[in-house]
Structure 1
């Protein structure tokens, strides 16, 4: 597909993007009810993206990761995330940004990325498709150094209650039995977890910040960022050098505060991980890490 490029002067601020999205959801999007859904053929791009060294160290410490001068994969995601959000907050994007459900990620971290390297980031949306609870789609982000893609991430989102076509049947995921799980750790996540992640990577989505803003958007309480959970999992499983591919799927939100059981096991060339509720045994997420060949 030929996409029109929108060049950004700088990485946009997420707080401003969320404010823009809220304003447009309350006013402009009402006029789109009943219109066919179609993703814009556009990509947003910005050059000269560099890591803030203090935020990098703060991120590594928040995740319990090794403090080093190469970028963790979720930190790269955080650097690229505002560019992706600028696509979703734009006037021509047909789905509501606030209240979207994050379903999962597929990422290629193609080589170790140095903390001082300058990245060119581009992002676009594709793959609009029906889901039993609404409409799903993908946001693709690429980070390049000197014209070579070093990191590529595909994030899948769900706009609940908005249908692009017929509603498909719900497919239930199989829950592993408790006996099949091997616990390797316990994450005790306080009520401030979402605010701590936002302070490092700037993602101040209201559903992660506190009880009242989360309730205003239809949740019973605030929840942990999906990418916080991914970052914690990768801190325990991803290699610190070389390329790798990782994925994560989110199944149930982690309402804060929470105690999350975490398990890791090896399967062939893959390291598999999952997290589940200490109270109910319901799985919150599962994923894998594999070396790139």
Structure 2
């Protein structure tokens, strides 16, 4: 174990971490001055086992078939409380409340059986300028013994005044999907139309631990500038992958960009192309909510 590695005995509860982050915003309770560097820490929990009832609930909320193999987005949910603990710590340079999840990339190295205990690790890297503020990546890894079976990279943005135009050029499957689907003047003909009920925000919060109130409360959503609750980005990604289930390769990378908030309730147009790009659009105005793609590895 290195000085930067902190091994925890169990996955922390997400609820107290959200409450700590919210209290930290109140005058006199937050840190007087946050640093400008990401903490040199890697949080690790070993031997995490899957609760089959929880997995069943997750599958049902996201549209996956009930199976012994983990859905590609499920390890993200397992590791999410570790990411919360990291980002809600007083020494973290950006407050958790107000962070925007703008992109996610998952690499599935092989099928993961639900009976396999997983070692999970999480760290934050690459705090960098963005034209609307600052952004960084949270890296998550799931291993079975010494074998890395899954990786996830979540990119978060903190909107701030005085951003810079030095944002990095986009690349990879999500950028390809954006060019093909998200930035066309006329969106592609949908493969399906999905009705997304308002309960999706509450249901996904329950199975994911992501209880950010912008997904469940109209009042909280309005405080952050939304007319009403919005769907979780990772629910949107999971729902797209559930629609592609059975056609995905054994090992692959799937990358998405979260373009616009998906209002709840709402109707979305799902489009999947033969080149393994996919997107969610507003069926009326054609605006993209999510664009992405899959690439074999």
TM-score, normalised to structure 2's length?
Answer: 0.89
Q: Aligned residue for 1:203?
A: 210
The answer to whether structure 1 residue 61 and structure 2 residue 69 are counterparts is no
Question: Is the 1:135–1:162 Cα contact (8 Å) retained in structure 2?
Answer: no
The Cα offsets for residues 115-157 of structure 1, whole Å up to 9 and x where unpaired, read as: 1110111100011111111111000000111121110000000
The answer to whether structure 1 residue 274 and structure 2 residue 282 are counterparts is no
CA distance in 2, matches of 1:62, 1:51: 17
Give 1:214's match in structure 2, choosing from 214, 221, 236.
221
> SS at 1:193's partner residue?
helix
Q: Aligned residue for 1:176?
A: 184
The Cα offsets for residues 219-272 of structure 1, whole Å up to 9 and x where unpaired, read as: 3221100000000011122556721110000110001111110100022xxx11
Q: Aligned residue for 1:289?
A: 294
Q: Aligned residue for 2:238?
A: 231
TM-score, normalised to structure 1's length?
Answer: 0.90
Against the structure 1 CA distance between its residues 31 and 209, is the aligned structure 2 distance closer, same or farther, given a 3 Å change threshold?
same
5 Å-filtered alignment, 1:41-120, equals 41-120=40-119
Q: Aligned residue for 1:243?
A: 251
- Calculate the aligned-residue CA RMSD, in Å: 2.1
Q: Aligned residue for 1:193?
A: 200
The Cα offsets for residues 177-215 of structure 1, whole Å up to 9 and x where unpaired, read as: 32x513101111111111011122222111111201222
How much has 1:28 moved relative to structure 2?
Answer: 4.5
> SS at 1:25's partner residue?
coil
Segments of structure 2 that go 5 or more residues without pairing to the other structure are: 171-177
> SS at 2:25's partner residue?
helix
CA distance in 1, matches of 2:149, 2:3: 21
Segments of structure 1 that go 5 or more residues without pairing to the other structure are: none
CA distance in 1, matches of 2:256, 2:139: 15
How much has 1:30 moved relative to structure 2?
Answer: 5.6
> SS at 1:73's partner residue?
coil
Against the structure 1 CA distance between its residues 112 and 162, is the aligned structure 2 distance closer, same or farther, given a 3 Å change threshold?
farther
Question: Is the 2:194–2:269 Cα contact (8 Å) retained in structure 1?
Answer: yes
